[in-house]
Amino acid sequence: MFNANKYSTKELIEMELRDMPYSETKDNIVGFALQLVENEAYYVAEAVAEAILHYKDDENDTQSVQCNMCMWRGDEEELTLEKEEDETFKACPNCKTDAYLMDLPVGGVQCKA
């Protein structure tokens, strides 16, 4: 019989996520779910579902950027793709360089939960 007590909360969370390929986001999801279980008394499955949702939302947020050269502001999607030698990079639509681009904070980094 499966005995949940043999496993740590973290291991249980990792088992829930065993189909997800390793990534930084997965790490974050595990950490976030662990917090929910330990601090908010969530069930493991519930915490994992919540954490996945939380980080899915994050991925959909578009990063806002500012060019410190011309003070242009916009979403990352509005940057132009520039090619230099064999490298392609996202650049300011006015200056055609990424040297002055700065990420703007998106609504703080705190969790809404």
Residues that bind Zn ion (CB under 5 A): 67, 69-70, 72, 92, 94-95
User: Is the C-alpha dihedral spanning 85, 90, 94, 99 positive or negative?
Assistant: negative
Please state the length of the chain: 113
C-beta of 66: minimal distance to Zn ion in Å?
A: 9
Question: Of 62 and 94, which has the nearer Cβ to Zn ion?
Answer: 94
Question: Of 55 and 72, which has the nearer Cβ to Zn ion?
Answer: 72
Question: What DSSP letter does each residue of 58-99 carry, written as one string?
Answer: HHHSPPEEEETTT--EEEGGGSEEEEETTEEEEE-TTT--ST
C-beta of 77: minimal distance to Zn ion in Å?
A: 16
Which helix (H) or strand (E) is 103 found in, with range?
Answer: strand 101-104
Question: Of 8 and 68, which has the nearer Cβ to Zn ion?
Answer: 68
* 67 Cβ neighbours under 8 A, 6+ residues apart: 73, 92, 94, 95, 100, 101, 102
Question: Of 34 and 101, which has the nearer Cβ to Zn ion?
Answer: 101
C-beta of 101: minimal distance to Zn ion in Å?
A: 8
